[in-house]
Structure 1
C-alpha cells in the first residue's frame, strides 16, 4: 500500500508517510495513542517489502506482545560515556587506511549530539591536580579530533550548558527532514539518550527513551533498538486547583500518584482539560521523573503551547507552521480526544493540596500545619512563628518564579509587607533568570516586599538572626520555623535556634513571609486588615491566566544570545590544538585513551568447536555486573595500580575507573577486582585465579591473556543469575578482549545474556548439572563440539576430570535466528564493524 503523500508550504513541497491514509482503511488504528502512531510511522517507513509492511500493521492492530523497532533520528550523548565507540571508529579508520579504503565511509550511521557538560572547571583544574588536567585535555583532544573527522557527529563543547536543557531549548527540531530521491521527507524526531534525564524531551512532544551504552553503540552503528510492543497508560487530568496550590504542587502530587500506580515499563501519555495548568517546564519535570515511577517515558503530545514555546526559543515562525501542518495532517497534534489506551488513570486537580515537607523527613509531604502545636510564648514570638524565609531561583521554572513575584506585586500594591520578625532572602542563581525577571519589571516587588536580593548561592548563618529574637528563642525554648523553596543545607550552626524547617513552593515562601506563622488556614484565615477590609489568600493569589499573560511578555531573544556561539566552546576548548589528520595519532603513554581491539573474529563461525578449554574462574550464584567490573576507586597494590605505576602515575593521581573509561588496559585489569567476589578455584578474594602450569595465583586478566597468546580457549563457569544489575559496557567488552569466548552458568540475567551475544561471547546454561554436582575444581579441561549452531539447542560437552571424562548437556542460549546469525558473525558489534569496513574498501 502506497501511503506517501505531500503538502506545500511557502512554495516548498514536503513528502511524508501518511498515517491518515492508513487509518481511513484500518479503523482499529484510528484511535491509537499518539506514541504508538509515532512508532507505527517509523516502522512502516523502514519496511522493505509488502510482507513486512502488512506484518507491522497487523502487530499494531492487535497490539500483540511482538518485538517492534525504535528507529532514532538522533542520539543525545553526555560527556564521555560513549568514548569507547568513537575510539573504535578511529581504530577502524586506521584499518581502512592501511587497506587503502575510503576513510569518509567510516562514520556514525545516524546523527549524534555529544554534549560536553562542565564536569571540570578547566581554568581551576591545572592549579589543583595535574592528573585531572591531563584527563580533561586528553579526552577533549580526542573528541575535538573526532568532531573534525566524523560526519553525523556534532560536538557541543564545554561551556554550553546542561545536556537535557540544551537539547530541549536548542537542539531538538520536533520534525526530522531527510532528503531522499531529491524530495524532502518529513517524519517525527525520535531520540535516544544515555543521560539520566533523556526522557525530558518527551515534554516537547518528541518521543525519546533512555538507553545504556551498549544499546547506544548498536544505534550509532545503524541498528534500531528492539522493544516489546508497549502498553500505553493514559493519564486524564481534570478539575480545578485549590487555593494556595501551584503547578509545582501539581507536579509533585502527580509524580507521587504515578509512583503508587504499579506502572511496569508502560509508556505514559497525558490528556485532559487540566493540561492547561501545566507549562512546558512543568511537563519537563514530569517527563524527567519517568524512571522514578517505572515508566519507559511520559509523553505530552504537541499542542499550541508546545508550538509557542518552540517558536519563541528558536525564533522561527515558518518552521512552527510546518510542524503544525505536518502533525495535523498525520493526526499527531493534540486534540483532547480520548484514545484507545490500555488503561486510563484519572487525576482530579481538586485533590491536590499545597506540598509542604518537613526538612527532617522529606518523604512526609502534606504536613498539616494547622495542627502545629502552639504552647509557648515569648516576649514577642510564639511557637510556629517564622524567622527565616529563603526563596531560591535555582530548580524553579520561569512559570513558578513569575507566579511568586506576581504574588509579591499584589501584596505590595495592597501595602502588605514581610513580617518584621522574618529574615527574608531572594537568591538568584543565573543571569538569564535575572534578565527575564528584570525585563518583566518584577524583581522590584519582591524587594519592596522586604526580601533581600542575593546573586549567589546562599548559606544562612545563626549570626544573621537578630539578637532580640535569639534571646527570646533561648529564654523561652520556642519552636520557631524556617521556610525554604529548596532543600539545601542552609541552617549552618543554627539548628539549635530554628527547630522546625519546611520546604514549600516558591509562592508559599512569599505567602508565609507575609502571614508570619505556619499555623494558617488557607481557606478562612485573614492575612491582614487593610482599610477595614479583610485580605484573604484569594485576594492576592495570582491566577493561571495572569501568569500566562506575563509569560507571553518574556523576551525569548535571550535564547538566541545564549546559543549563538554554542559550537564555539569556552577558551579552553578553543585553545586546544589538534592535528588535522585523517587518522588519530595515539599517545602510547596515555593512561586515559588507548586504541582498542574491535574486529575480534574475522571468519564466519559455521560450527562450534572448542577443544580442551581451560576454566578461568568458578563463581557462585548472583554475580552482578558491579562485581564483574567494580566501579570503586583504584586501590593500592591492585593490578590497575601496578599498571599506572609502571606508566609513572603516582597513587594520588590514580583518579577512578570512570575517568579512565577510554583505556582498555585499565578496564581489563579491573575485572572482578573486589573483595565481594571470590573465584572458588582459590582461597584468595578478588580478581585472581590459578595458573596450573606454574601453580601460582595470578590476576584473572593475566592468566587469560597468556592462554589467549597460546590459542587456548578460556571459559568462565558460574551459578544462577550471572550478570544481574545495571548494564555495564566493560563488564562484557573486557571479558572478550582477554579471550573469554564462552560463559557457562546455571542461568543468566536476560539483558546480560543478550549483551554477551552482542560482543560475540556464547552463553550456555547447565541443563541438569551445576558446579557442585560435577564437583568442579577448576583444573578440568572442557571440550564442546557441535556441528550446527541452532537456537535453544542442546549441546553435548565433555569435561576431562583427572582420569575420567564426564558428559553433560548444555543449553545454547541463542534464543532466536537473529541471535544465531549475529553470533556466527562474531557478535552484533563485530558484524556492524565489518559491514562498515567492507563498504569502505
Structure 2
C-alpha cells in the first residue's frame, strides 16, 4: 500500500513489545487543522486516503475536503476508497466466483496467464444461505436438513471447493457454521487490521465491503463496512477502489437505558422508524452519547445490522471499552485486543464519556428508556407497531383487503383436529441474522419457553417453528444455560446454521395447512426474528409478516395468532384452566443476565479453531484441481455466463437508445426481491419450465438464490416475482407484460426474448425507491441480459443504482417532480434516449423522446445517475468487470 505521505504523518506504535507502523491522524491534523470532532466514521475514510495517496486515485485535495467537511457538514467530493477486505455469502458469492472463473477463461483466450485473475484483497465467503427448513420440530431436523442441503447443492459446493484451491487470497467457511455476519462479528472482524510490508507491520482500521446488505452488522464492533452489489465487490477484490462521494453523517445521540422487559429488537425497530422518517438514504449514521455506556455490543450489532432497513449506508459505533470487552469475551488474541485499544486511542477514534461530541450533518436523539415492546410489519421493516396494537393493525390489514367480515370464520384443516382463521401464525422462526448475534434475546427466548412449559402451555399445532442460529456458539450457550431442552419441547428445535426464513428459505408448509390457506384465501402471518418482511419473501402463501424479538416469536407461537393484544389477552390457559399472560412468563433482566453470564471465551475459541475445514460432508466433496474450471454443460446450477464473450472486440462509444419499448411499468418500492426473486421457483414460471426441460423435478428446484450461478435460470427469474405488479396489466400480480405493438400478454422473459430477436431495445419505468432491499447483483445482471438499456425511475436505492451502471444499464431519474403518471406513460410508447456519447459526464441531463401509439410526439428530461467519473469509465467499457478485465488483458 504505497503512499506518497505528503503530510509526513507515518508514525510507529509499540504495543506489547511489537512495533506497528501507521498513518497518524493527529500528525495529519498539524497541516489539515483540528479534525478531532470529525465523525469517527469519516476519520476511518481519512486514514484510508492518507494510506493510499498516489496522486492518481488519491490526492492531497481529498484530505482537505474531509477537513473542510467539519465546516460545511456535507461535500460533493468524490473519493476513491479501498476497503481492507471483502465478505461474501454464498448466494451472492457463487456468481462472483463464476464471474472470476469466466474472466480467467477470457484471459486464457486472449493468450494471457489466467493467474492474473486473483483477489488482491482478502476475501471470505461464508456458505450460509443454502439451508432450508424442510424438517422442523424434531431432534433430527438439523441432521436431515443438512443432508438435504448437501444433496441439493452438490454442484455448487463442488464449484466452491474448486475455487477454494484455485484462487489466492480467498477463503471459504463451509456450510453448517453460521451466517456470514455473525462469523464476521465473532471471528473474522479484527477492528484493527495488519499487513506485513517490506519487513514492517502496518496497522490500519479493519474495513470491508460485503455482498450482503446486512454487512453493516459489523459496524457494531467499530468496523466500517457496508453492502455492495456482487459486481462492485468483484471489482474491489480485483484492486479497483470503491468510488464514492464523501457522505453526510447523521448523528444519533442515545441517552438513558432500556427499561425492564424491553429488548434490542424493540430498540432497533424504533431506531429504524425514526431514521427512515428522517431520511438517511445514502448517508452514514453514527451513534454517540451516554446511552452507549449501557448498550451491549450485541445490541449495537443488532442496530448496525438493520442499516439497510433504515436506509443508511452504515450505522456505525465507535470503538470503546464495550468493544474491548466483547473482543475478550469472543476469545480474540490478547495482542490484537491491546493493539485495538492502543491504536484507537492514538488515532483519536476511542469513545468515552469525556470525549467531545463529534460534529454531524444533523443530529437526532433517542432516550432508550422511552422504547416500548414492538413488532414491525406486515410488509415493511420500518413500519413499527407497538405490541398492544398488533391485533388492531392486523384487523386494519383485513379491512383494507376486504376480508374483515370473515375475520372470525374458522376454516377446517383436512386430517387435523384444528381449524385456521385469518391472522393465524403459521411460521414462527427464531432466525438469522438480526437477533441471533444477541445472547440476551436468545436466552430470553429460552426462558420464555421454560416458563411457558412450566405453566402447561404448548405451541399452537398449526405453527411451523424453527431455530436457526447465526453460529454454533449460540447452541453452546443455550445448552450451558440449560435452555435448549425447553425450546426443543416447544418445537423450536435446531434446523440449521444459516439464513433461513428472512430470505424465503422457510421451506414448505404442511400440505393440509397450505391447502386450507389457498382454498380459503386466508391472510395468515409469520413472526420472525429477522430483518426482512417484504410481501412474498418469507413464504408465497403468507401475506402478513412481522419482525419481532426471539422471546416474542416464542410467545406468538404459543398464541397461534396475531389478532391478539398480548398486554391484556392471555396466550393460553394452564392445567387449572387459569389464563396465562405474556407478563407471567416474561423473564426479568436478572434472569437473562444470569443465563448470559455462563458464556465464556473458550466457547468461541473452540468453535472457530478450525473454521475453514468443514465437516465430513464438505471434506468428502471431490473436485478437479486447476487454474481454470472445467464447466459442466449439463449443470443446472453453474454455467459459464455470456458477459465476456465480446471482450476481444474493440470498444465502441455509448450511443443514443433508439425506439425502445417499455418492458414494464412499475410503481413505488420495487425491491430487488421483485426484480430478482429469492425463495421458491414456481413450476409454471419461465425458470421452472426451463428446469423441467433439463429434467429437474419441481421438488428439486431448490431456490432462486441457490441457482444464481446459472444465468439461464436467473434471467428467466428476473421480474418473475409472484407479487410484482406491472401497471401495464392493471392490478394483476406476477411477472407478465404486454408485448407491443400487438398487446399480446406474455411473461416478461418471453416478451424480452422476442424483442431481443427483433433487435428492439428495452426500457423499464418505475416510481420511487426502485431497487430497495438486498444487494442482489442479479437484479442488474438479469436486467442486462433481458436487453434493458435503461431504467427510468423517480428515485433509486444506492446499491442497485450502482449495480445497474456496473452492468452497463443506464439509471435515469425523472426531474422536476415528473413521473410516469404526470407524463401519461402507459407502456405502449416508443422511447428514444438522446445525449449519450463519448463525452458523457456524471449526472448530466438527457432527453427522452416519446412516440405515442397515436403517432403524437413529445419529450421530457431525465437526470443520468452515472454519479462519478469512475462510473463513466465503467459505463463506457460496458460495465465495471469489463473495464477491469480489459485492463488486466492489456497489462
Q: TM-score normalised to the size of structure 1? A: 0.72
Which residue of structure 1 lines up, in the alignment, with residue 279 of structure 2?
A: 264
Do the aligned partners of 2:873 and 2:883 also contact (CA within 8 Å) in 1? no
Q: 1:116 offset after TM fit, Å?
A: 1.4
Indicate which of 324, 339, 358 corresponds to 2:357.
339
Which residue number in structure 1 is paired with residue 876 of structure 2? Answer: 824
Aligned partner of 1:37 among 20, 43, 57: 43
Residues 1:676 and 2:725 aligned together: yes
Q: Match for residue 301 of structure 1?
A: 318
SS in 1 for 2:581: strand
Q: Is the 8 A contact 1:743 1:762 kept in 2?
A: yes
Q: How far apart are residue 662 of structure 1 and its match?
A: 1.7
Residues 366/329 of structure 1: CA separation in 2 closer, same or farther (3 Å cut): farther
Matched, 1:790 2:840: yes
Deviations 1:262-302 (A, max 9, x none): 54325444445554433333333343344555554333322
**CA spacing shift, 1:779–1:180, aligned 2, 3 Å:** same
Query: How far did residue 59 of structure 1 move?
Result: 3.3
Give distance in 2, aligned partners of 1:609 and 1:234: 43
2:623 partner SS: coil
How much has 1:650 moved relative to structure 2?
A: 2.9
Q: CA deviation at 1:178?
A: 2.3
Please give the secondary structure, in 2, of the residue aligned with 1:490. helix
Q: Please give the alpha-carbon distance, in whole angstroms, between the structure 2 residues aligned to 1:102 and 1:250.
A: 51
Compared with structure 1, are the counterparts of its residues 600 and 339 closer, same or farther at alpha carbon in structure 2 (3 Å cutoff)?
farther
1:487 equivalent among 550, 553, 573: 553
Q: Residue deviations 1:433-489, cap 9 Å, x none?
A: 7876998xx87xxxxxxxx9936523299xxxxxxxxxxxxxxxxxxxxx9944311
Change (3 A) 1:257 1:168: closer
The 5 A counterparts of 1:486-565 are: 486-488=552-554, 489-490=557-558, 495=572, 497=577, 499=579, 501-502=581-582, 507-508=587-588, 551=597, 555-565=600-610
The structural deviation recorded for 1:21 is: 0.5
The residue aligned with 1:537 is none
3-state DSSP of counterpart to 1:35: helix
Partner of 2:345: 328
Change (3 A) 1:822 1:94: closer
> How far did 1:85 drift?
1.4
Residue in 1 that maps onto 2:777: 729
- 1:154 alignment counterpart: 171
Kept in 1, the 8 Å contact 2:735–2:748? The answer is no
Report SS of the residue matched to 2:168: coil
Correspondent of 1:641 among 674, 688, 700: 688
**Cα gap change, 1:504/1:42 in structure 2, threshold over 3 Å: closer, same or farther?**
farther
2:490 corresponds to which residue?
Answer: 459
> 3-state DSSP class of the match of 1:29?
coil
Q: CA deviation at 1:168?
A: 1.6
Give CA deviations for 1:133-189 in whole Å, capped at 9, x if unaligned. Answer: 553111111111111111221101012223222212211111111233443211000
Closer/same/farther in 2, CA of residues 804 and 604 from structure 1, 3 Å limit: farther
2:89 matched to 1:78? Answer: yes
Q: Partners of 1:506 and 1:765 in 2: how far apart?
A: 49
What CA deviation, in whole Å up to 9, does each residue of 1:346-403 have, x standing for no partner?
A: 5556x46996999x99943599xxxxxxxxxxxxxxxxxxxxxxxx999695568999
In the alignment, what sits opposite 2:502? none
Structure 1 pair 503/599, CA: closer, same or farther in 2 (3 Å)? farther
- For the residue of structure 1 that corresponds to 2:48, the secondary structure is helix
1:176-226 deviation line (CA, Å, top 9, x unaligned): 112334432110001223446432222222122233444434433433444
Aligned partners of 1:438 and 1:128: how far apart in 2? 21
Bigger mean CA offset, 218-227 vs 662-671: 218-227
| In structure 2, C-alpha distance between the alignment counterparts of 1:630 and 1:453, rounded to whole Å | 34
Name whichever of 49-58 and 558-567 sits farther off: 49-58
- Which whole-Å deviations, capped at 9, do the CAs of 1:788-817 have from their partners, x for residues lacking one? 543366778889999999796866725554
Name the SS of the counterpart of 1:178 in structure 2.
Answer: strand
d(CA) in 1 for partners of 2:64, 2:113: 39
C-alpha spacing 1:250/1:103, structure 2 compared with 1 (3 Å): closer
Query: C-alpha offsets along residues 722-760 of structure 1, whole Å, 9 cap, x if unaligned?
Result: 9554464333312323444x3374866475554332211
The C-alpha deviation readout for 1:54-104, integer Å capped at 9, x for no partner, is: 333233333333244543212222232232111011111122233332222
Q: Cα RMSD (Å) of the superposition? A: 5.3
Q: Which runs of 5+ in 2 are unaligned?
A: 1-6, 135-139, 390-429, 459-465, 493-548, 562-570
- Which of 611, 629, 644 aligns to 1:566? It is 611
Residues 817 and 348 of structure 1: is their aligned pair in 2 closer, same or farther, counting only changes over 3 Å? Answer: closer
- CA–CA distance in structure 1, aligned partners of residues 131 and 491 of structure 2: 27
The whole-number CA distance in structure 2 between the counterparts of 1:622 and 1:214 is: 26
Q: State the match for 1:167 in structure 2.
A: 184
Assess if the C-alpha contact under 8 Å between 1:485 and 1:505 holds in 2: no
RCO higher in structure (CA 8 A, sep ≥6) = 2
Say whether 1:282 aligns with 2:299: yes
Q: Distance in 1 between matches of 2:717 and 2:819?
A: 30
Alignment of 1:371-382 (within 5 A): none
* Contact 1:609–1:786, Cα closer than 8 Å, also in 2: yes
Query: Which stretch has the larger CA shift, 131-140 or 672-681?
Result: 672-681
Change (3 A) 1:460 1:206: closer
The aligned counterpart of 2:60 is 53
CA distance in 2: counterparts of 1:781 and 1:237, whole angstroms:
50
Q: Which residue of 2 aligns with 1:586?
A: 631
Rounded Cα–Cα distance in structure 1 between residues aligned with 2:75 and 2:701: 48
Cα pair 2:765 2:793 within 8 Å, conserved: yes
Aligned residues: 728
Matched, 1:8 2:39: no
Q: In the alignment, is the contact (CA less than 8 A) between 2:257 and 2:294 conserved in 1?
A: no
* Counterpart position of 2:463: none
The 8 Å contact of residues 268 and 299 in structure 1, kept in 2 or not, is answered as: yes
1:135-534 superposed matches below 5 A: 135-195=152-212, 197-237=214-254, 245=260, 249=263, 252=266, 256=270, 259-260=273-274, 262-265=277-280, 267-336=284-353, 337-342=355-360, 343-344=362-363, 351=369, 363-364=385-386, 454=485, 456-459=487-490, 485-488=551-554, 489-490=557-558, 495=572, 497=577, 499=579, 501-502=581-582, 507-508=587-588
Inter-partner Cα distance in structure 1 for 2:765 and 2:484: 62
User: Is the contact made by 1:106 and 1:837 (CA closer than 8 Å) also made in structure 2?
Assistant: no
When normalised by structure 2's length, the TM-score is: 0.68
> Quick one: structure 1 residues 653 and 804, their matched pair in 2 at CA, closer, same or farther if it must change by over 3 Å?
same
Aligned to 1:457, what secondary structure does the other structure show?
Answer: helix
Question: In the alignment, is the contact (CA less than 8 A) between 2:266 and 2:371 conserved in 1?
Answer: no
Contact 1:588 1:594 in 2 (8 A): yes
Q: Structure 1 residue aligned with 2:24, among 7, 18, 29?
A: 18
The superposition leaves residues 745-791 of structure 1 with CA deviations (integer Å, 9 ceiling, x where unpaired) of 48664755543322113456899999998999969797979765433
Higher mean displacement: 814-823 or 164-173: 814-823
Deviation for aligned residue 1:828: 2.1
Secondary structure of the structure 1 residue equivalent to 2:59: helix
Indicate the SS of the match to 1:187: strand
Pair 779,277 (structure 1): closer, same or farther in 2 beyond 3 Å: closer
Q: How does 1:598-609 map to 2 (within 5 A)?
A: 598-599=643-644, 602=647, 603=649, 605=651, 607-609=653-655
CA contact (8 A) 1:207 1:299 kept: yes
User: CA separation in 2, counterparts of 1:404 and 1:793?
Assistant: 53
Flag the structure with larger Rg. 1
